[in-house]
Every structure is written in C-alpha cells, then in structure tokens.
Amino acid sequence: MRSNYSSTTAKRSEMDYLDIKNLAQTGEGTFLEFKRTVSSAHKIAREIAAFANTHGGTLLIGVDDDGSLVGVDGYQEEVFLLNEASNVLCNPQVDARLEVVQFGVRDLLVMKVPEAGEKPVYTKENNEETNVYIRKNSSSKRISYERLKLLEHKSSERSVSFTYGKAERKLFRYLNEYGAISVTKFAHLVDENRSTAIDILINLVNAKILKLFTKDKIDYFAFSNKVTDN
C-alpha cells in the first residue's frame, strides 16, 4: 500500500546530458552524489537527509560511481522511490526538486535538495524517527547523539549562557592537564548523568569555549583554541 503524501513531479530540465556529464566530471563531494539506480527508498533517504542537514546538494540518478552516464530505463519507479524517501522517510519532509534529462533512449534524474530550514531532518525506520545523517566530504555519515544536540541548538534560536560553576571548574582543570575529554569521562568526573553532562559540554561548544572533535570513532571535547582538526 502506498503512503499518503504529496508527490513531487519530475519536470523536464533546462540542462542536457552534456551539462550532466560536465557536472559528473567534478566528482562526488560535499554537494554531489551519484547513484546508478535507486534501489531502496530507505537508503536514498539517508542521502537526502544528509544534504538537508548540511548545506544542501544534488543527487544524480543514472550516473555510475566513476562519473560515467548510464541512464535509467523508465524513470517512474525511481521517481516514486525518491518521493517516498523525501516525503515519507524524512521528517520533516524535504522539499526537493526533481528534473529529468533525456539521454538517448534512456533518462537521467537530477534531484536538487535544499538545506533544511528546520533541523535536524530524521530518517525513519519502522515508522519511527531513528537516525540523523550529515554530509561529510563525499559520504553521508550518521551523527552521534552529541553532534545531534549541537545541530539542534544551532538550528534553534536559543541564546547561549555560560556559568562557571563547580562542573565547569572541574572540567577546565581536567582539560588543562589532559587536553581532551569524552562525555563518559566528564559525566564520571562531575558525578552527573550522561544527558546532563552532554548539555553542559554542548553549551560550552556553542559559547565557543570548547570544540567537539572525533578520534577513533569517539567524540571528544577540548578547548576550542587548542583543536585544529575537526
């Protein structure tokens, strides 16, 4: 049974296949992703959400990983899956624009994904919001809870306040001695639950006192003027 949503119609593009070829030659990156076909609405939803959660981007359907144009034979199924991905499996919905470019007897699809005005955009699994993805270089990466909290704060209009209390004093002493700290270590250091520890650290990131970085797949916090690699 098809989901109840307002689908986006794929319109004929002002670009031709040579424009797509030139675009594809720039290679995949922060703003560009290639797909030979759309095999799964759930998988493509991750790419759409990642673009929306970052700075927007373009999906080229019918383009191989090496940038060669292969086209799709009858694009209606791809259009349905792209619509399901952007309108049903992304929450809030992503208002993307779909365009069709003729490529001989086949077609190419261009999906232009805007940066979301309301972040984060979640992807759904089993009708539940589960993950948040962002675009990093040429990949869509699932973000940690710490980075999700940071994204939520940046998207809101909440002001940043900074109180130099007992927890902050312990944190600064630790950072001056060891350089960086994880959420787990900080929560233990100040005897707080993980959620409270994250709130304190993220507030300090937003105040530009700390910086969040990842090493060996673990998020760490350090003084912002002492970390250069994000």
Question: Which of 87, 122, 142 delimits the end of a domain?
Answer: 142
Question: 77 and 186, same structural domain?
Answer: no
Report, in angstroms and rounded to the nearest whole number, the Rg of the chain calculated over CA atoms: 21
Distance CA 65, CA 158 (A): 41
pLDDT in tens, the chain (230 residues): 334 445 668 899 999 999 999 999 999 998 999 999 999 999 999 999 999 999 899 999 999 999 999 999 989 999 999 999 999 999 999 999 999 999 999 999 999 999 998 889 999 877 666 789 999 888 998 888 788 877 776 665 555 566 678 999 999 999 999 999 999 999 999 999 988 898 899 888 888 889 989 888 888 999 988 544 44
Three-state secondary structure call for residue 37 = coil
* Domain boundaries, position 38: 11-142
Q: Looking at the structure, tell me whether residues 51 and 122 fall in a common domain.
A: yes
Residues 59 and 110 reside in one and the same domain: yes
Same domain flag for 48 and 85: yes
Q: Which CATH number characterizes residue 106's domain?
A: 3.30.950.30
pTM above 0.75, yes or no: no
